[in-house]
Amino acid sequence: MPTNSQQNSPNKDEIDLITLFVKIGEFIKNAVLGLFNIIGSVLIYLLRKWYYLLIAAVLTVASALILDNTTEPLYSADLIMRSNATTNQPIMSSVDILGDYAKAKNYEILSNELNQSLEVASTIKGIETFWYYDIGEDGIYDGIDTEGRFLSDTNVLKIDNEFVVRMKISDPSFVKNIEEGLVHYLEANTFLLALNQQRLSDLEAQLNQTQYEIEKLDSLQKREYYTNTEDLRQKDGQIVFTSEKTVQTYHNEMFRLLRMKQEYEKELKVYSGIITVQEGFSVPGESDNGTIDYAKKLSWYYLGLAIFLSLVITYREKIKDFKKSK
């Protein structure tokens, strides 16, 4: 009898677990209700102090209009560049030097490096380079690392032969001049030029060797086809067959060599320069610092200021009493 009683009675651990889940549920419910109460109280307070919000909105619009009319407009433009002579890092570092000149407003040096007029160089307000990244290494670009989050992440693949150049400019009509100047600047780099000449020399040697291997394999295939009597299926007939395995091996090797030859020829003809502009700067239509952009940035500032002032004014008597009590 005692045994049956123990079996029918609920386990103490099960009761404790149920109680724990009930308490967790009550805590979550109370937290959600408390959050809704806080949000509701804040909204009611803001509605009662609507005139502070109106003042904040008027100040936001007025400040945005003033800034839009008194500051120099800035436009952003992106260029996609392929690194041919070497990996991205040396070329990106060279471009970043131009960004340092622009940041320091050293427009004379910038003009000389780009081989452009001082008028064109003085419109450049910033130049930055960014990596493409590939999550999962599936060969598909997942984005541009504008914040440098993936530079040291070993789980994310950095694309090492293409990158983005982002430029800030005050006059968008000069973007093509700056693009030409950027190409000139990199193509005139003596270190990168030496690397590229060595690359082209190696490609020529590889192409010649691959062509030699193709001719040798073609000659070997013909000789094997007509003289290899071990694989003959019809010795006395006019049609001569080699084994399927031998033919397949020849074809696979020949296709491999032809693909290699095509890659070498593409590198020599299409990507012969130090860099290749995959997609040039496009003329931007809207500025980055227009009225709407200023309004978005200033709205949070004036909203916070309005709420702060409304709290100070509403509870000024309590604030005075608090100071006196000290």
- Over the stretch 156-188, which tens digit does the pLDDT of each residue have? 788 889 999 999 998 888 999 999 999 999 999
What is the CB neighbour count within 10 angstroms for residue 203? Answer: 18
The pLDDT value given to residue 238 = 45
The pLDDT value given to residue 27 = 87
Place of tokens 């041919």: 84
The strand pairing partners of 169, in sequence order, are: 75, 124
Query: 315 to each of 40, 52, 166, how far by Cα in Å?
Result: 20, 15, 49
Give the confidence band of 69 by pLDDT, cuts at 50, 70, 90.
confident
- Using the predicted structure, report yes or no on whether residue 92 has a pLDDT greater than 60: yes
- Indicate the average pLDDT of the chain: 82
From 33-47, 104-118, 157-171, the region with the lowest mean pLDDT: 33-47
Residues 6+ apart with CB under 8 A from 95: 127, 129, 165, 182, 186
What amino acid is encoded at 250 in this protein?
Y
- Using the predicted structure, report yes or no on whether residue 195 has a pLDDT greater than 90: yes
Give the confidence band of 233 by pLDDT, cuts at 50, 70, 90.
very low
Nearest Cα to 82, choosing from 256, 273, 308?
A: 273
The answer to whether the beta carbons of residues 110 and 102 sit under 8 Å apart is yes
CA atoms of 186 and 163, how far apart (whole Å):
14
CA angle, 272 then 177 then 179, to 5°: 40
Give the confidence band of 312 by pLDDT, cuts at 50, 70, 90.
confident
- Using the predicted structure, report yes or no on whether residue 4 has a pLDDT greater than 80: no
The answer to whether the beta carbons of residues 149 and 65 sit under 8 Å apart is no
Q: Which DSSP string corresponds to 8-49?
A: HSPPHHHHHHHHHHHHHHHHHHHHHHHHHHHHHHHHHHHHHT
Give tens-digit pLDDT for 23-39: 888 889 888 888 888 88
Structure tokens at 42: 């804040």
Residues 6+ apart with CB under 8 A from 235: 229
From 108-122, 170-184, 251-265, 303-317, the region with the lowest mean pLDDT: 303-317
CA atoms of 257 and 267, how far apart (whole Å):
15
- Of 321 and 61, the structure prediction assigns the larger pLDDT to 61
The strand pairing partners of 165, in sequence order, are: 79, 129
From 149-153, 159-163, 230-234, 267-271, the region with the lowest mean pLDDT: 230-234
Give the confidence band of 196 by pLDDT, cuts at 50, 70, 90.
very high
Q: Name the most confidently modeled range: 49-58, 166-175, 284-293.
A: 166-175
The pLDDT value given to residue 14 = 61
Give the confidence band of 232 by pLDDT, cuts at 50, 70, 90.
very low
The pLDDT value given to residue 259 = 93
Q: State mean pLDDT over 274-301.
A: 83
Give the confidence band of 15 by pLDDT, cuts at 50, 70, 90.
low
- Using the predicted structure, report yes or no on whether residue 66 has a pLDDT greater than 70: yes
Predicted TM-score (pTM) of the model is: 0.68
Q: State mean pLDDT over 244-256.
A: 72
The pLDDT value given to residue 12 = 59
Give the confidence band of 1 by pLDDT, cuts at 50, 70, 90.
very low
Binning the chain into helix, strand and coil, the percentages to the nearest 5 are: 65, 15, 20
The pLDDT value given to residue 10 = 54
Axis crossing angle, helix 291-314 with helix 50-70, rounded to the nearest 10 = 150
Q: State mean pLDDT over 89-97.
A: 94
